[in-house]
Amino acid sequence: MPSHCHPTNRYPIQFKSDTLKFAERWDKTKSVEVGISTVLINREIAIAATPGEPMHKLQRIWKEQADVPVPLFYGYTYSSGGVWPGYIPDLKSAAYGGYGADASTRIEVGAGEQIMQRHLIQLYDCSACGATSRGGLEVAFSIWDIGLRNTSPALCLVCEKVYGYSNRAVEE
């Protein structure tokens, strides 16, 4: 068989999964747990898997910010537990209401953006460990600086070794 039929992956397939907890939109005493997964294949294909039906604007956030040649988004997927959140509106749609953004949704306002942000954090976390330029790691610093302190020890180690940046002094 020709060698082009046996592609080699320079990087392993990486993935991160998480279960995010949000308040119910209409009954704050209840919660909605949403399981998401992010996959990175050969640093070229990124897959974000989210249950429910995220609105189009949220899907575009992923596609525009994923920073890989092939960013794929899959709604209607169960990947790491949680419950079915139904429609997931973006902030503006939730504010104005309408199809999928008012009584037909059960997840708190702003949850959609938080889900997309978590997907991006997971993607950057997967890609930062082998980064050869400052770009990916600068994103990691931005994530840290805005107060999202749930980055993995591997990402923190990369930041420390490459830039001498340590988060140990500011950990709670």
**pLDDT 10s digits, 20-48:** 999 999 999 999 999 999 999 999 999 99
Query: Whole-model pTM above 0.85?
Result: no
Question: If you average pLDDT over residues 53-65, what whole number do you get?
Answer: 95
Residue 129 binned pLDDT confidence (cut-offs 50, 70, 90): low
Task: Give the E-state strand segments of 59-106 in sequence order.
Answer: 70-74, 87-88
Distance between CA atoms of residues 167 and 79, nearest Å: 30
Question: If you average pLDDT over residues 72-79, what whole number do you get?
Answer: 91
Question: If you average pLDDT over residues 138-142, what whole number do you get?
Answer: 44
